[in-house]
Structure 1
Amino acid sequence: MKKLILSLLLVSTGPLAGNSQYVNPFIGTSNFGATHPGAQYPNALASVSPFNVAYGGDLNKFEKDDAWNSRVYIHENRFLTGFSHLNLSGVGCPEAGVMLLMPTTGKLNLDAREYGSTYSREQASPGYYSTLLDKYQVKAELTSTLRTGLSRFTFPKGKSHVLLNLGLGLTNETGASLKIVSDQEIQGSRMLGTFCYNAEDVRPVYFVARFSKPAIELGAWKKMPAYKNVEADWISYNDSIKPYADYRQQLSGDDIGAWFSFDTQENEAVEVQLGISFVSIENARANLQAEQPGFDFAKVRRQAVAAWDKLLDRVEVQGEQEQKTLFYTALYHSLIHPNILQDVNGDYPLMGQQGTGNSKQNRYTVYSLWDTNRNLHPLLSLLYPELQSDMLRSAVAMAGESGWLPKWELYGMETQVMVGDPATPMIADSYLRGIQDFDVAAAYQAMVRAAEQRDNNLLRPENADYLDLGYVPVDDEGPYDGSVSTSLEYYLADFTLAQLAGALGKTADQQKYQRRAQHYRKLFDPSTGMLRPKNRQGQWLTPYDPELGRNFEPAPGYIEGNAWNYRFYVPHDTPGLIELLGGQHNFLQALDATFDTGNFDMANEPDITYPFLYNYLDGQSWRTSARVQQLIAEHYGNHPAGLPGNDDTGTMSAWLAFAMLGIYPVSPGLMDYALFTPSFDKVTLHLNPDYYSGKTLVIENQQKNSNSNKDVRIKFQQQDIERPFLTHQTLVSGGRLVFY
């Protein structure tokens, strides 16, 4: 209860009127959720977040060197070294978290280990964050636009400073450049790349920062690394920081920064705008000029709130405030990534090559598709099809530029993280749901290339074996390759490609890929009831432990999980899997055992559809409602640890949003939603008329006070539903879905 009260107090009571008032940005900032509470605009390139993962208050320890930190902010940490302007939400590897502004007072200190401060009085809401820096008694307030951040620092009387640190960050790349343009402006760049320690391209992000008043003193600094004096045979292990007062030339290095100093009166505010671009300094300046032509903190904040309300108000719910907070925060986290990449003039960095492209439509980036193809993109397709449409166009354009659809794309770089061919399910599923205003012919060509090219296949590197054997063999896999996991992802991709082929009238292709999707049966082992690794000779991997990998240790055949986590991962053919397991009774026992033995992992993707599989069993759909309610209660909450783990760019939040609505998409490429008891008394979805014929979909729960899920009946448009599924096309035609 204390945690709950604290988390509610942390949420700002600022100028919120619509459903953004229910969002708690602190949810997910603990328990490795990897979200941040900073100032965030919907699907924005820029955001401004407190950065508290360096040093941790121990001046002799830099925590980034000792911990796997994919987060700019951890709720338990209390030592802040600045506010970063390029941030990722809910990712599992370090990247971004760069361009840190830090206000200080008194004697100038340029060492982050020393100028960092504890902080208190945190508040956060959509588009706003504030805190008090205890060491300096400076109030820091943050807000942002699509491509810019705005910080307001309210100082005490005396000598005050704003530091820009280009050395700190989460990225594994180093290197930056800066130039002080005037006593109110600075420009430069910071290198990014090597996400998840993969050797993909590196890229600079450019910035321009402006101050609301001229500095009376300024300069740049460079950290001089530890060095060894060979002649004297001694070593200096202490970094030293060399200041360059009033330095106006370009300065480059791995650990550099700049300072602007002021004489401030009591409670005088200094504001700092910072615009970013992945194309050029000139474009960063243009972005800043277009989105913040003057200094107006209140206006920028109001615009951010209005943008959030416009999206969040598309769903109206009636129920308890605590439930509203969970739901609207889940929607909020689902609308951060993918985010735009293009500048105000349409420029963006080309995918997989040097050079600049230009688009009159939004160009998106941050495609964590192994995660998001399962539920986040279906959620966007249902509620925000206009956003999903631009995301489809962006993905197809990436294939035109690089030759391949994205897998885990980041700022125009393909990181090759995770397995499978996840863009194919995402695109095919969206098309089948009715989002068809993109170049589907080009998309289909790119999908077929991924499915057919045997060698040097960027999306399906194991495709030669897969085409020859019908599965990926375990023989040559590395510790995190996962031959079974990879095979299952390929089967799903082939299934969704088959469905798209059918919709496009390509009957021969449809039949071919449908057959390939059924090859999952080759990996089904009747003796264990598991989908089990095989070698090239068709022999089962022996010895075999289905629980190996439960704690994310390497497990032959599986990635990020064990055999139990992947046991039912054939979402495109659950009825076929039920048959293989010996019928409904055996399937029910196996499904229950997954939960009862602790082999269900709410924090990871392969098994997150399993609670909804009871709907395939006659008379057992009530178990879906019971499991979903149990999982929400156990893993989600209105507190910093209120996500089950890494949000995976919104995937865990999208699961919660669907789960609370009482509908869940069972598989990419299948239009069925599983139906179960919703969390609210009434939900109204306002559908986009440009894509869907229905005006609204109303979901009502008229049996909320019942003590048993077994008594639930379902009606749609006053007609009883015998099978606990409805298609996407049925729901978006509008109407009234009632649980009674």
Structure 2
Amino acid sequence: GDDIGVWFTFDAESNEQVEVSMGVSFVSIDNARQNLEAEQSGKSFEELHTAARQAWNDDLSRVLVEGGTEEQRRVFYTALYHFLIHPNTLQDVNGQYPVMEGDEIRTVRGNRYTVFSLWDTYRNVHQLMTLLFPDRQLDMVRTMIDMYREHGWLPKWELYGRETLTMEGDPSIPVIVDTWMKGLRDFDVATAYEAMYKSATLPGKENLMRPDADDYYSLGYVPLREQYDNSVSHALEYYIADYALSRLAKALGKKEDAELFYKRSMDYKHYYCREFGTLRPILPNGKFYSPFDPMEGANFAPSPGFHEGNSWNYTFYVPHDVLGLAKLMGGRKNFVDKLQKVFDEGLYDPANEPDIAYPYLFSYFPGEEWRTQKLVKELLARYFTDKPNGIPGNDDTGTMSAWAIFSMIGFYPDCPGTPDYTLTTPVFDKVTLRLDSRYYKEDKLVIRKSSNSDYIKEVKLDGVKHNGFRITHDELVHAGELVFEMSENNKMNENNK
């Protein structure tokens, strides 16, 4: 049955220690016993504790930071620890695991992963995994494809072999596309594309990932049919997934598919309301929802059209077409002023995913990059500390921590499915990323900054000046050294116009 528990009592004397060994399996009691024997037999608590510390130390040593304060270093490595907890392996020592949404037991080669909180993690966790632990990221992608083979669908929010259907969108798509675009291609891309195409084309009544797909296909948006149906949030997720899918289709030579999915991804423009200068729900008759208040839904209150947020938390959530959104808003100045308002008026929510890339969007506009550099520093100091409440809300299986890790080392993947990063000021004087030489030509990437000044004057890749404040994944992992020349004056960014 469900929700089974057990407890033990021991007839122990005062201060007596009781040492218990436990085996766990999601397959059988026999497998739990086999796991216990293989992993713990003859080993004391202290031996296991020492081995665990060594294993964690090796993982955490993939990134070595120098400089910064003691608190900043503590925050960084705590975040790295949190980031590495999930997804986690599911199989037993004999390789057996329960199939997705079924009773069958199969045996995996390599690792079978579970706990795919993808609405959260598609934004930055898997990008960081690709960079630091590419072997694990490949196993995660292979796991997702195997889940499709077993269940008929890529995962949305999978938990120990069951699909919870938590949150919305089609979040496996940008994860798989992002991985492939960054050169990790040792997986069955044909089956992956088949799975992604299925969820991007099937009618809504047959579509587990996109239940409101019929409106999306025919209208270009999802209308508000019930007051709190999260319609705008659903559509924004589909746009991002379809944009990522269009990039993969183009790379695979599927020209018609690429054009179809790209065209769909640009339909976010339907939601833009000039009256408010924000995205706004649309009714089935094609008119905007009224009465409308962009602030409705703040602090996780119910909001027509938006999930766990308000219109301000979602209006700039078009990472695949930032310049197009700026044009819609009347140009660069209007875009920048409106985005700055989000931070000046306390409309930014650091604990919810749709707006966590907002600080990086300024850097799409030459001369405005200083705003990214200033805001990221302030947000890190305000929301990430070594206090008991030292992260902003729920860590969402490492997503908030991954935001902090990227932001502290000086770059962020602000558009899922696109192999690019936006640069910002590193927290530390020197950061050394240990790269896996099986996947990357270089065995490390060293990041330095010339001083503790706040603003970036110039960026050099392996001694050569780099233009702009965006960098491709390929440039990053083959740079060898990334140097930030710093300045006290934010006007130094004018040099990069």
SS, match of residue 683 in structure 1: strand
Match of 1:379 in 2: 128
The equivalent position to 1:459 in structure 2, one of 195, 209, 224, is 209
CA displacement at 1:257 relative to structure 2: 4.1
- Cα contact 1:551–1:561 (8 A) shared by 2: yes
* Equivalent residues in 2 for 1:563-712, closer than 5 Å: 563-704=311-452, 706=453, 708-709=454-455, 712=457
1:261 aligns with 2:6: no
Aligned-partner Cα distance in 2 for 1:261–1:288 = 24
Match of 1:346 in 2: 95
Structure showing the higher strand proportion among its residues: 1
SS, match of residue 310 in structure 2: coil
The equivalent position to 1:721 in structure 2, one of 454, 466, 469, is 466
Match of 1:393 in 2: 142
CA displacement at 1:496 relative to structure 2: 0.5
Aligned-partner Cα distance in 2 for 1:703–1:712 = 11
SS, match of residue 355 in structure 2: coil
1:304 aligns with 2:19: no
Aligned-partner Cα distance in 1 for 2:99–2:422 = 39
1:514-571, CA deviations, whole angstroms, 9 ceiling, x for partnerless residues? Answer: 1111111111112222111112221110110100000211111100100000010000
1:8-40, CA deviations, whole angstroms, 9 ceiling, x for partnerless residues? Answer: xxxxxxxxxxxxxxxxxxxxxxxxxxxxxxxxx
- Cα contact 1:482–1:559 (8 A) shared by 2: yes
* Identity across matched positions, percent: 50
- Cα contact 1:693–1:734 (8 A) shared by 2: no
- Cα contact 1:703–1:712 (8 A) shared by 2: no
Aligned-partner Cα distance in 2 for 1:590–1:724 = 21
Distance verdict in 2 for CA 1:301–1:528, change over 3 Å: same
Match of 1:732 in 2: 477
Match of 1:447 in 2: 196
Distance verdict in 2 for CA 1:551–1:322, change over 3 Å: closer
1:277 aligns with 2:22: no
The total of aligned residue pairs comes to 483
What amino acid sits opposite 2:393 in the alignment?
G
1:188-226, CA deviations, whole angstroms, 9 ceiling, x for partnerless residues? Answer: xxx35xxxxxxxxxxxxxxxxxxxxxxxxxxxxxxxxxx
- Cα contact 1:588–1:614 (8 A) shared by 2: yes
- Cα contact 1:614–1:624 (8 A) shared by 2: yes
Q: Which has the higher contact order (CA 8 A, sep 6+)?
A: 2
SS, match of residue 551 in structure 1: helix
- Cα contact 2:126–2:137 (8 A) shared by 1: yes
Aligned-partner Cα distance in 2 for 1:257–1:310 = 34
SS, match of residue 19 in structure 2: strand
Aligned-partner Cα distance in 2 for 1:724–1:472 = 35
Distance verdict in 2 for CA 1:698–1:258, change over 3 Å: closer
Aligned-partner Cα distance in 2 for 1:699–1:661 = 8
Using the TM superposition, name which of 524-533 and 275-284 deviates more.
524-533
Distance verdict in 2 for CA 1:634–1:256, change over 3 Å: closer
1:313-350, CA deviations, whole angstroms, 9 ceiling, x for partnerless residues? Answer: 11111113322111111111000000111111111111
What amino acid sits opposite 1:418 in the alignment?
M
SS, match of residue 437 in structure 1: coil
Aligned-partner Cα distance in 2 for 1:670–1:398 = 24
What amino acid sits opposite 2:224 in the alignment?
V
Match of 2:488 in 1: none
What amino acid sits opposite 1:475 in the alignment?
R
CA displacement at 1:739 relative to structure 2: 1.0
* Equivalent residues in 2 for 1:366-515, closer than 5 Å: 366-454=115-203, 455-476=205-226, 479=228, 481-515=229-263
Aligned-partner Cα distance in 2 for 1:395–1:312 = 25
Match of 1:538 in 2: 286
What amino acid sits opposite 1:511 in the alignment?
E
Structure showing the higher helix proportion among its residues: 2
SS, match of residue 421 in structure 2: strand
- Cα contact 1:469–1:536 (8 A) shared by 2: no
Distance verdict in 2 for CA 1:298–1:542, change over 3 Å: same
CA displacement at 1:676 relative to structure 2: 1.1
CA displacement at 1:489 relative to structure 2: 0.2
Aligned-partner Cα distance in 2 for 1:694–1:512 = 38
CA displacement at 1:256 relative to structure 2: 5.7
What amino acid sits opposite 1:727 in the alignment?
T
- Cα contact 1:696–1:734 (8 A) shared by 2: no
What amino acid sits opposite 1:447 in the alignment?
M
Aligned-partner Cα distance in 2 for 1:267–1:540 = 68
1:105-134, CA deviations, whole angstroms, 9 ceiling, x for partnerless residues? Answer: xxxxxxxxxxxxxxxxxxxxxxxxxxxxxx
- Cα contact 1:695–1:734 (8 A) shared by 2: no
Aligned-partner Cα distance in 1 for 2:10–2:341 = 62
- Cα contact 1:501–1:507 (8 A) shared by 2: yes
Gaps of 5+ in 1: 1-174, 176-190, 193-253
CA displacement at 1:420 relative to structure 2: 0.5
Aligned-partner Cα distance in 2 for 1:577–1:716 = 30
SS, match of residue 715 in structure 1: strand
What amino acid sits opposite 2:170 in the alignment?
D
SS, match of residue 528 in structure 1: coil
Using the TM superposition, name which of 609-618 and 468-477 deviates more.
468-477
1:584-614, CA deviations, whole angstroms, 9 ceiling, x for partnerless residues? Answer: 1111100111111111000110000000011
CA displacement at 1:737 relative to structure 2: 1.1
Aligned-partner Cα distance in 1 for 2:480–2:43 = 47
The equivalent position to 2:76 in structure 1, one of 314, 327, 336, is 327
Match of 1:247 in 2: none
1:355 aligns with 2:104: yes
Aligned-partner Cα distance in 1 for 2:376–2:210 = 34
Aligned-partner Cα distance in 2 for 1:681–1:551 = 36
Root mean square deviation, CA, Å: 1.4
- Cα contact 2:156–2:170 (8 A) shared by 1: yes
CA displacement at 1:500 relative to structure 2: 1.1
What amino acid sits opposite 2:333 in the alignment?
H
SS, match of residue 425 in structure 1: helix
Match of 2:494 in 1: none
CA displacement at 1:268 relative to structure 2: 4.3
SS, match of residue 700 in structure 1: strand
CA displacement at 1:267 relative to structure 2: 5.2
SS, match of residue 273 in structure 1: coil
What amino acid sits opposite 1:718 in the alignment?
G
SS, match of residue 300 in structure 2: coil
Aligned-partner Cα distance in 2 for 1:585–1:324 = 37
Q: TM-score, normalised by structure 2?
A: 0.95
CA displacement at 1:255 relative to structure 2: 6.6
- Cα contact 2:231–2:306 (8 A) shared by 1: yes
